[in-house]
Amino acid sequence: MDVIDQTITDRYALYHGDCVDVVSGLPDDSVHLSIYSPPFAGLYHYSSSERYMSNCRSYEEFMEHYGFVVRHLSRVTVPGRMTAVHCTDIPSGNTRRDHLRDFPGDIIRLHESMGWHYCARYSIWKDPFEVYIRTMRKSLQHKTVVEDSSSCSVASADYLLMFRRAGENEVPIEHPTGLMSYAGSREPPKKVLKFRGWPGKQTENKYSQWVWRQYASAFWDDVRLDRVLPFVEARDDKDEAHVHPLQLDVIERAVTLWSNPGEVVLTPFMGVGSEVFEAVRLGRKGIGVELKPSYYRQSVKNLETVDVDSVDGARQVDMFAAGAGE
């Protein structure tokens, strides 16, 4: 495996290197869930490195290179298991007459062309004013509404796209006492709290049923947008730094729903380590790959602070043992 640096413990493996190089070195059928945000096809400039996917010369070249990652993820994923892709629509520029590219749709078509089955799309609400402050998009200015609202745009939702690898899932993802916690700002009704961890018939578990109704919704409107890992130190003055970690609520929901304790969760675009952090906190094994040096260093710092959540508990298993998680 070709890497620049690595940090490996009994709970996680962090690799400083190119994601294609690293993932191509992982064993077949060794990953139970992958979750990540791919570089948004040139929307943000992360690094000046020519190896960084966001620096491709065209959108078409980006999708071609991204295809190598999707293909390797299919190989390393256990049959019947999932990959979760966090993305959004991409604006053509920053003018009052910009338009949007259907990046999520292209991601869906790419995965389907490589044998993945498209399963679900979750929409994650974002506040329009906060999006404007972060991006300074002219099409989101109130001034545009006043002068010519035909040029107005939208604070596009983020999307979590779910794909299932072909084949039968031989190890069920079980929740024998239902869903044990809720990742979001909405408070569960007090009358259902007594059912949390209900040991009897799950048809009676009103707490878990309430959580599931929120998670099963296609519109996630109470994700805590500020619940993210520390990232300020990862900014690099040498580059136009874009650091916007995936919210921990989103990762927690995905890891809880689509993996068992003790199983392996992979992120090929690690950033500051959010996906690995939540996987480990929830009792899974985490693998992360990051090319940008400052992001890798921050992920190492972040993972040094992680504690395993006592709710799920970790089953200690070898990272690449056959049948890990059974």
At 152-190, the pLDDT tens digits run 888 889 999 999 999 999 999 999 999 999 999 999 999
pLDDT at site 135: 77
- On the question of pLDDT at 20 being above 60, the answer is yes
- Using only C-alpha atoms, the chain has a radius of gyration, in whole angstroms, of 20
Q: Return d(Cα 273, Cα 286) in angstroms, integer.
A: 10
- On the question of pLDDT at 288 being above 80, the answer is yes
Which of the listed ranges 137-146, 184-193, 237-246 does the model predict with the highest average pLDDT? 184-193
Kindly state the average pLDDT of the residues 240-251: 77
Tokens representing residue 266 in the block:
């992979």
- CATH architecture of the region 5-127+156-303: 3-Layer(aba) Sandwich (3.40)
Q: What is this structure's pTM? A: 0.86
- On the question of pLDDT at 41 being above 80, the answer is no
Per domain, the residue ranges of the chain are 5-127+156-303
Q: Return d(Cα 247, Cα 229) in angstroms, integer.
A: 8
Sign of the C-alpha dihedral, residues 116, 123, 102, 129?
A: negative
Lowest mean pLDDT among 12-16, 93-97, 185-189: 93-97
Closest of 63, 56, 60, 59 to residue 111, by C-alpha: 63
Mapping DSSP to helix (H, G, I), strand (E, B) and coil, where does residue 119 land?
Answer: strand
Tokens representing residue 122 in the block:
């979750």
Tokens representing residue 19 in the block:
């994601």
Q: In what helix (H) or strand (E) does residue 264 lie, and over which residues does it extend? A: strand 264-267
Mapping DSSP to helix (H, G, I), strand (E, B) and coil, where does residue 49 land?
Answer: coil
